[in-house]
Amino acid sequence: MILRFDRLQPREKFMISLLILIIVIGGVYYLFSSQVKKINENKDKLETSINKLRIMNTRLSKNQLLKEEYKGLLKELESRQKNFLEKGKESDLLLDLNNLAMKRNVKILSIEPKEIIQEDIYLKIPAEVRLRGTYNQIVNYIEDVKYLNYLTRIENLNVKTSNKADYLEAKITLLSYALDRKGDIQ
């Protein structure tokens, strides 16, 4: 019992055509709606990935700027390192103070190194020097301390008359600095 389309009445033809049209439209809608849903999910994933990428790009650019700034600061520190006493060569300070005394004909009564103080990336190296000499000799000695090859400050200076006639005694507390580069980040 095969139905022939040409033997059907117009109303039946219309209903069958309508049924076929509904089935085709329903099938197409079903196929496209699942595809549209997948497309929307992929768009959301893409937007999320793009936002994550932007955040990572921002972090990387900040990280790159920090690295460049760090390299600049490290380069500046390297250039200024010559202004500091070398770490581990604290005895050079004592030798230089002794050499200055011999150069200026000042008698050293004592040179007493104090305990080294750690401050961030540098070390404070204190020393106390007691000398005897004329006023000019002591002033010249102090002037020479200012021109040592590394950063040295006079923290305290006491001058008093000596038991010997034309001589003065000076007690000088000096502070020199050395870089402690163990905190460097590579």
Of 50, 79, 108, which residue sits at a domain end? Answer: 79
| Residue among 3, 2, 22 at smallest CA distance from 12 | 3
Please state whether the predicted TM-score (pTM) of the whole model is above 0.85.
no
Asked if 35 and 91 sit in the same domain, the reply is no
What's the confidence (pLDDT) of residue 1? 46
Q: What is the pLDDT of residues 4-62, one digit of tens each?
A: 767 778 888 888 889 999 999 998 888 888 888 899 999 999 999 999 999 999 998 89
Residue 1 in any domain: the answer is: no
Asked if 114 and 144 sit in the same domain, the reply is yes
Tell me the residue range of the domain where 151 lies: 84-183
Contacts (Cβ under 8 Å, ≥6 apart) of 70:
185
Contacts (Cβ under 8 Å, ≥6 apart) of 137:
104, 105, 106
Asked if 151 and 60 sit in the same domain, the reply is no
* Amino acid letter for position 148: L
Of 44, 79, 114, which residue sits at a domain end? Answer: 79
Neighbours of 100 (CB within 10 A): 21
Asked if 58 and 103 sit in the same domain, the reply is no
Asked if 147 and 98 sit in the same domain, the reply is yes
| Residue among 100, 106, 179 at smallest CA distance from 146 | 100
Residue 177 in any domain: the answer is: yes
Asked if 95 and 68 sit in the same domain, the reply is no
In the 8-state DSSP scheme, what is residue 86?
A: P
Of 30, 60, 79, which residue sits at a domain end? Answer: 79
Asked if 38 and 105 sit in the same domain, the reply is no
Q: What is the pLDDT of residues 88-122, one digit of tens each?
A: 777 788 888 888 899 999 999 998 888 888 887 78
Distance CA 137, CA 106 (A): 6
Asked if 29 and 65 sit in the same domain, the reply is yes
Asked if 88 and 75 sit in the same domain, the reply is no
Distance CA 38, CA 51 (A): 20
Sign of CA dihedral 6, 10, 12, 16: positive
